[in-house]
Structure 1
Amino acid sequence: MSVAEIGAITVHDFSEKILEQTVHFHVIKLTGGFFLWVGSKPVLSNLAVSMHSTLGSMPLSSLVLGDPSDTTPSSLAQRLTKRTKKQVFVSYNLPLTDSNMSLMVENRIKKEMEFQPDKF
């Protein structure tokens, strides 16, 4: 691996129609982790971060920006950290109108990770 590859930042975008709504995904791959933005319009209403801890098997997560009563970004970041073993930043900008929506969004992310693991 060259020095340029070690610090390289890459960007990956994909979209999917979920429950009659077009959802956009924006991934910025960083050294040792990634930033994931999910939304239908260009807003950044929250931001959560998650990382592994030596204190237990469940990754730590914290909301950095946004409404603390909305646990979606923190819990999604935590599950993605557990899956990838990387530090993960998540901004989830979709209304919580349907409980199936967040599950379908997460499944779409997992599908993309399966088919394009080098993007995360």
Structure 2
Amino acid sequence: METAEPSPHPVSIHNFSDKICERLVHFHVMSLQDCFLLWVGCSARLCNLAVSMCSRYDSMPLSSLILGDKSDTTSSSFAQRLAKKTKKQVFASINIPTDDSQLMLLIEKRIKEEMESFPEKF
């Protein structure tokens, strides 16, 4: 009987939370080989999911909404920015009120800080 060799890139889970604009925001990162999933929310729900990846034919990564309201482009555009920054395939689910642009800017800043502190988790 053959035994499978351990994967050189195991699944990694990284969770963190922060109080942003008087709201407790939770972050969940699941890193896989050459891609990661980022979930952001104030409560445990998955309302949308987008995927984005770089293409050799365009400087802007391709993105598509997998789950959720097509008129809400928050997850898709966020996944695109992360894919461009990391050069990885990114699944993103942003489950926060989209009417607060200040909240989104601070969430992006917090994710950037976490990526700089723990680059191996993304």
When normalised by structure 1's length, the TM-score is 0.95
Cα-to-partner distance string for 1:61-107 (whole Å, 9 max, x where unaligned): 11000011111100000000000000000011001131111111111
Residue 118 of structure 1 corresponds to which residue in structure 2? 120
Give the aligned residue type for 2:111.
I
CA RMSD in angstroms, aligned pairs only: 1.0
Structure 1: where are the runs of 5+ without partners? Answer: none
Larger Rg: 2
- 1-structure distance, mates of 2:6, 2:25: 32
TM-score, normalised to structure 2, is 0.93
Give the corresponding residue for 1:42.
44
After the TM superposition, list the runs of 4 or more consecutive aligned residues in structure 1 that deviate by more than 4 angstroms. Answer: none
Task: Spell out the pairing of 1:43-58 with structure 2 (5 A cutoff).
Answer: 43-58=45-60
Out of 6, 22, 25, the residue aligned to residue 8 of structure 2 is: 6
Unaligned stretches of 5+ in structure 2? Answer: none
Distance in 2 separating the partners of 1:4 and 1:105: 35
Q: Is the strand fraction higher in 1 or 2?
A: 2
Deviations 1:16-51 (A, max 9, x none): 111000000000001111000000110000000000
Sequence identity of aligned pairs in percent?
58
Q: Please state if 1:75 is matched with 2:74.
A: no
